[in-house]
Amino acid sequence: MEQLKRIMSGDFARNEARQYLLCMSGVFWGLILLAWLGYPAENRYSIMTHTFSFLGSYETKHNPHWWWLFTVAMIFWGGAGIPLSLYYRRRLHVVSSRGAWVGAGLLILGFVNIGLVGVFPDVRTVVYNELRVTDIHEKTAVLSAVGFILGISGYGLLLLKDALGERRLAHRGMVAPYVFWVGVLTVASYFLIKWEFVYAEKRAAAQAAGVSIGSSWSEALNTRYSFPLWENILIYTLFIFLVWFGFTLSQAEPRT
The pLDDT score that the predictor gives to residue 94 is 87
DSSP string, 73-110: HHHHHHHHHHHHHHHHHHHHTTT-HHHHHHHHHHHHHH
pLDDT, residue 232, reads 97
In a domain, 219, yes or no: yes
Decide if 256 is inside a domain.
no
87 within 8 A of 103, measured Cβ to Cβ:
no
What is the tally of structural domains in the chain? 1
Q: Which domain, by its residues, includes 128?
A: 2-251
138: in domain = yes
Mean pLDDT by 10 residues, the chain (256 residues): 78 86 97 97 96 97 97 98 95 90 97 97 91 96 97 93 76 86 97 96 92 93 97 98 94 61
Q: What is the pTM of this model?
A: 0.93
What are the helix and strand counts (H, E) for the chain?
Answer: 8, 2
